[in-house]
Structure 1
């Protein structure tokens, strides 16, 4: 019987070892290429995971957007090496060359892209409508919201979200804020309902851009309402003509005398509804106005106002304001 050569046996062991190393190397290379190593995305890539999506559906979207090399490979490694837990719906930004492992962690983390739309204090309903309709990442159509129904602020949204859903959040925020503030109202407030509070707050909002002045302006209008005086608020003249947008010129005498449901120069009491979307602070000012005897105010030329308790002092303040404008070259 022939004896096996030691060299031949050693050669077989070397071959087997090389095969094992080759298989292990191939496995490690596949693991690195498809799981822990740099991914194929060359640029920041937006990936949307709709509500209720499975990991498989998300993987198909990732492959479609070029964020992973293959759906099958991603799922195989995710199931064997990924952390347990569901993925979360939303829009995600996959960074350039993000690994499949890190992408799974991202989808499970819920760290979605934060897209924001802002409604500034005092933005009228028509401009809220235009802003939402102009946001190209939102979907669907809406009608212009009721004036005074939206709480100014910054709201997050997701790509593809219906405009109606974003508007609903804005209106729910106003309802919640108004309910909370109504509970803090002073016993002698001149408004008799939440609707009246928003209507008067909208005038306060448009009359001053200085936050600290809101309670004082609210105090003046509260005094005038108690005495049955006309509010004589310029923004109420403009609203029927522009729906709250800037007029772009001085108000005409014929417009001051115009009789309608908003012009507080031609009517006593509150207008028939809000002339803009007031801030939380303006609503609070109306419900708890400053205690004052003032009945008049006029711009001071520096961004604020000068207040007066009688017409004589008010007229003097008005003349000073006109003199200041004249000195500055204003017409």
Structure 2
């Protein structure tokens, strides 16, 4: 009798152990295996949200099969308290483990509605766009120029939504005065800046920022990024450059930035100015003359007059030797890199070639021929 009871108890124990093992194995397969989601979705994690709430949302959207296993997996992997507020893409058939990684890892939003205030050389505008999680392409919902056009209908509701993200994008070649004046109009920023930052000191880049971010702190981040970029590239500069300080490199980079919008040309344009500096030739570049006239506060809006080319100003490189005293815009990383590692050429001249780029020349004779061709192209364009 006792033996029979012991045998039955042992059998029950073995069955329970097998069952427990099966349950654990099933749970692991549910957690790490292919998920049920058929199409990509955008999961919003509000600030202060709990893993329990997110697991319920994911169950409702069909992204996970079991909220309890999801929460246990997050707890076991010690990520249950590492939720990041934002909007995150969940790919089709993502496992629970992959979803937890997406919503706890970097905190960088990968989908949802975004308000992007873009500061360009000609104008600034605010674009409201949404990332389609299926195609990973942004869909523009609205666009307008703050201070000049009325805000689009529905913008207030979008900006009141706590999941909406905000971004500031600075174009390469904008001036510091432009940046500050335009950012004063950004409706989602707060605070003030006491003075316009030094020309060239702001990094053209994309800055994700919370609603209500302080303008002064944002500008400090722009300055910090530019300082880091300049220090990094200055340390890797080519030998023998006619540049004594990082500040001179920034000035040359700003001229390169304003002289060409063709990325591949930057090292060649830089080589022209480096060669001229080495040979003691004046730079003779129009963007510096324009900056001397406008102080970077507005486009000139017309051609440069001959009298202005002859007028002595600190920025008129047709008159002064060497570089102007400061940068004439905020150059991007690629223009700084070009100034510090220019192409190895003997070019001393360049002129527009009609295709959006430039024709380069080593001698004045070659340059004059390129200028003649450009004049013909200009005449043909006017005739059309």
TM-score computed with the length of structure 1 as normaliser: 0.68
Match of 1:317 among 360, 364, 370: 370
Larger Rg: 1
Match of 1:274 among 308, 327, 347: 327
Deviations 1:205-232 (A, max 9, x none): 0001100000001101001001110000
Cα distance 1:85–1:226, how it changes in 2: closer, same or farther (>3 A)? same
Deviation, 1:92, is 8.3
- Determine which structure has the larger strand proportion and give its number: 2
Match of 2:182 among 109, 125, 131: 131
Residue matched to 2:302: 249
1:214-233 pair list within 5 angstroms: 214-233=266-285
Deviation, 1:248, is 1.2
Deviations 1:83-120 (A, max 9, x none): 863776x7889xxxxxxxxxxx9xx9666643111000
Deviations 1:42-93 (A, max 9, x none): xxxx9996xxx999xxxxxxxxxxxxxxxxxxxxxxxxxxx863776x7889
Are the counterparts in 2 of residues 256 and 263 from structure 1 also a CA contact under 8 Å?
yes
Match of 2:342 among 289, 299, 305: 289
Cα distance 1:160–1:302, how it changes in 2: closer, same or farther (>3 A)? same
Deviation, 1:323, is 1.4
Cα distance 1:137–1:318, how it changes in 2: closer, same or farther (>3 A)? same
Deviation, 1:175, is 0.7
Question: Which blocks of at least 5 consecutive residues in structure 1 are unaligned?
Answer: 1-45, 56-82, 94-104
Q: Distance in 1 between matches of 2:324 and 2:276?
A: 14
Deviation, 1:189, is 1.5
Are the counterparts in 2 of residues 189 and 286 from structure 1 also a CA contact under 8 Å?
no
SS at match of 1:328: helix
Q: Distance in 1 between matches of 2:264 and 2:82?
A: 48
Match of 1:171 among 223, 226, 229: 223
SS at match of 1:306: strand
Are the counterparts in 2 of residues 294 and 309 from structure 1 also a CA contact under 8 Å?
yes
Are the counterparts in 2 of residues 307 and 314 from structure 1 also a CA contact under 8 Å?
yes
Are the counterparts in 2 of residues 122 and 205 from structure 1 also a CA contact under 8 Å?
yes
Residue matched to 1:73: none
1:76-87 pair list within 5 angstroms: 85=81
Q: Does 1:145 align with 2:197?
A: yes
Between 1 and 2, higher relative CO (CA 8 Å, sep ≥ 6) is seen in 1
Deviation, 1:298, is 0.4
Q: Distance in 1 between matches of 2:184 and 2:292?
A: 22
The size of the alignment, in residue pairs, is 243
- Determine which structure has the larger helix proportion and give its number: 1
Residue matched to 2:165: 114
TM-score computed with the length of structure 2 as normaliser: 0.59
Deviation, 1:293, is 0.9
Moved more, 314-323 or 146-155: 314-323
SS at match of 2:184: helix
Q: Does 1:258 align with 2:311?
A: yes
Residue matched to 1:212: 264
Deviations 1:241-300 (A, max 9, x none): 223332111110111111111110111100000000001111111111111111101000
Match of 2:247 among 195, 210, 218: 195
Deviation, 1:199, is 0.2
Q: Does 1:304 align with 2:357?
A: yes
Question: Which blocks of at least 5 consecutive residues in structure 2 are unaligned?
Answer: 1-43, 51-74, 89-99, 110-162
Are the counterparts in 2 of residues 91 and 158 from structure 1 also a CA contact under 8 Å?
no
Are the counterparts in 2 of residues 113 and 158 from structure 1 also a CA contact under 8 Å?
no
1:37-52 pair list within 5 angstroms: none
Q: Distance in 2 between matches of 1:330 and 1:238?
A: 28
1:39-118 pair list within 5 angstroms: 85=81, 113-118=164-169
